[in-house]
Chain A
Amino acid sequence: MRARKKAGIVSTGKALPVVRLTNYDLEYIVETSDEWITARSGIKERRIISGEETNSSLSEIAARIALERAGLKPEEIDILIVATVTPDQPLPSSACLVQARLNAHRAAAFDLAAGCTGFLYGLTVGQQFIETGAAKNILLIGVDTLSPVVDWTDRRTCVLFGDGAGAVVMQPVEEGRGILASKMYSDGSKAELLEIPAGGSKRPATLKTLQERGHYIKMNGPEIFKFAVKIMVESTLNVLEMCGKKTSDLTYIAPHQANVRIINAACKRLGLSEEQVLINIQRYGNMSSATIPVVLDEALEEGKIKQGDLLALVSFGAGLTWGAAVLNW
């Protein structure tokens, strides 16, 4: 029997909206302060879409950069996955709009909705197609434009989120490289901890849903905080064990950037030092599915991540969902 192929990330790209919203700007929008936001989340500013910027336009820019770096033409893409919960419109998928923008006409394009864990779900899904040999070139985009669905009158949520897109090209890689282990997890019994209650087919838009502000994100912050710290530790240890590695083997961890306090608490429990944790939340806030590809892209541009480094990726989000992976870069 031939050994199964391994799947890896061969290039990255990102796109961020032009407009910056600082904590000081937010002081004019809700009753808050730079001091509170910085101390409780580590966030200093975030990007917000404006003008012609949309979910699919940011995706296109990030994708073109990743494709160029991989030396790949759009028509060579076999599968185009857009991990997002904020597509341009309910129908069709954002992936099909991105396909048209890129003219990636050979690709099968679909969206994948797994809250802020979307990128890691997409990575695991893409990995299966490559390992079985069903696909060679996969374009995976983690993108979210949450600013239109954030309640700008709710200081408990609006200070935390931002917009952005990150893209990666996945291809077969040599044995021992790429994704060594990955796992997806969900617990739908905790759905109400983070939701947009209206706007779907159960409660379509009506005057009442608008008046109740039902089209905006509702979140139970403290419950998610506890959950996140716990599962980040558990799932990271779990994927490390799956591939016979230990936390002491890790060069870096690229965690979902939701709150620096969650990241610090989890990494302390994992016994990782500050230098091992890839962080950019201070500049972008929580960009949902985009956080991990963007933080990877920046670490690569800064020359931090080198060939042979061992990386753990871990994320959590609405659903609730969570996921983790170990990659040998």
Chain B
Amino acid sequence: MEVFEKVKSLISEQLDVDEEQLDMDTTFEDIDADSLDVVELVMALEEEFNLEISDEEVEKIKTVGDIVSYIENQIS
């Protein structure tokens, strides 16, 4: 749950969206994020959680839930 909260606040800060708007099923299209927004978000996630997300992993990420489960897997 903690990761979800952190991811939500990062996305809302990076992409200027309301945290209320974000749940596990929210997609990048839902919040009008283009490919460069995704790159920026990935950079912010890498810094916040101190990890590297490869391009192949980024390709697979479609929803907020995908980000959360990827990060939980990496840091556990």
A residues in contact (CB < 8 Å) with B: 39-40, 222, 225-226, 229-230, 261, 265
Chain B residue nearest to A36 in the complex (CB): B34
B residues in contact (CB < 8 Å) with A: 34-36, 39-40, 42-43, 55
Q: Which residues of A contact B34 (CB under 8 A)?
A: 39-40
Bound CA span A150–B43, Å:
29
Bound CA span A226–B35, Å:
12
Chain B residue nearest to A229 in the complex (CB): B43
Are A222 and B40 interface neighbours, CB within 8 A? no
Q: Which residues of B contact A261 (CB under 8 A)?
A: 36, 40
Bound CA span A40–B35, Å:
9
Q: Which residues of A contact B40 (CB under 8 A)?
A: 229, 261, 265
**A222-B39 contact, Cβ under 8 Å, with A39-B34, A40-B34:** yes
Q: Which residues of B contact A230 (CB under 8 A)?
A: 43
Bound CA span A226–B36, Å:
9
Bound CA span A226–B34, Å:
15
Are B43 and A226 interface neighbours, CB within 8 A? yes
**A222-B43 contact, Cβ under 8 Å, with A40-B36, A261-B36:** no
Bound CA span A225–B43, Å:
10
Bound CA span A60–B36, Å:
38
Q: List 18 A-B contacts (CB under 8 A).
A: A39-B34, A40-B34, A40-B35, A40-B36, A222-B35, A222-B39, A222-B55, A225-B36, A225-B39, A226-B39, A226-B42, A226-B43, A229-B40, A229-B43, A230-B43, A261-B36, A261-B40, A265-B40
Q: Which residues of B contact A222 (CB under 8 A)?
A: 35, 39, 55
**Distance in Å: Cβ of B59 to nearest Cβ of chain A:** 11
Bound CA span A261–B36, Å:
8
**Distance in Å: Cβ of A10 to nearest Cβ of chain B:** 38
Bound CA span A265–B34, Å:
14
Report, nearest first, the 9 A-B pairs whose CB atoms are least far apart. Answer: A261-B36, A265-B40, A225-B39, A222-B39, A226-B43, A226-B39, A40-B36, A229-B43, A39-B34
Q: Which residues of B contact A225 (CB under 8 A)?
A: 36, 39
Chain A residue nearest to B46 in the complex (CB): A226
Q: Which residues of A contact B36 (CB under 8 A)?
A: 40, 225, 261
Q: Which residues of B contact A226 (CB under 8 A)?
A: 39, 42-43
Q: Which residues of A contact B35 (CB under 8 A)?
A: 40, 222
Chain B residue nearest to A40 in the complex (CB): B36
Chain A residue nearest to B36 in the complex (CB): A261
Q: Which residues of B contact A265 (CB under 8 A)?
A: 40
